[in-house]
A and B are shown apart, each in its own frame.
Chain A
């Protein structure tokens, strides 16, 4: 089955700096790669996603890049703010009716004011 590895497990940055989280996946049939943000005590919520026919996608301060050949994708957050502090999960999904996703173990991002 699919295996998703996520690094780093913790990341601490100063407010205003950039943060980068990286994921690798094993199943070349995966073609949808979402990123979820989970604030303390809350549910995971989608912040950005990318499909395999696209190399990069941007939404204001967040961007995701995908390298299908190398089977890795990354989340980039620029101009970080304290409210960006949360756990971030990447996932890889195959194009099936079930839409089953395999999640990475998460990255705890702390943005220091």
Chain B
């Protein structure tokens, strides 16, 4: 049981480049989330998905898009990266539809935009 996996672990982009962060979970969870973590700012929700085929904006969605490809996979895309998007990105999942709200986090992707 791998839990939540994320790729890549590290990435450096130039301003204006695009990239997709991949996330997968093998726990059969219905809900998945993308957060960014900046120093001293805690975890801020970018987008979430309550089930396959649905996505919703979180607190800080601007500059990002997401795709819930299937129940296992939830990707985050930066179409035109900006230095303000330099951060650590965490994907998480939970079994919220069964009343289990504990979130399981992936190892994170450290993104630097120059």
Known: A43-B106, A46-B103. A100 touches B43 (CB 8 A): no
Q: Mark A27-65, 1 if CB is under 8 A from B, else 0.
A: 000001010100000111110010000000000000000
Interface residues on B, range: 20 to 34
A43 touches B90 (CB 8 A): yes
B59 nearest CB across to chain A (Å): 8
Determine whether the beta carbon of B105 is less than 8 Å from that of A44: yes
B96 contact from A36, A89, A99, Cβ within 8 A: A99
> What distance in Å separates the Cβ of B104 from its nearest Cβ neighbour in chain A?
8
Per the bound structure, the CA–CA distance linking A60 and B33 in Å amounts to 30
Contact A100 B48, beta carbon cutoff 8 Å:
yes
Query: Which of A44, A96, A100, A105 lies in contact with B41, CB distance below 8 A?
Result: A105
Contacts of A36 in B (CB 8 A): 103
Interface flags, A101-113, vs B, CB<8A=1, else 0: 1111110000000
Q: Spell out B's residues near A (CB within 8 Å).
A: 30-31, 33, 40-45, 48, 50-51, 56, 58-59, 90, 94, 96-97, 99, 101-103, 105-108
In the complex, 11 of the A-B residue pairs with CB atoms within 8 angstroms, ordered by the A residue number, are: A9-B40, A34-B101, A43-B105, A46-B102, A49-B102, A97-B31, A97-B96, A98-B48, A99-B50, A99-B103, A103-B42
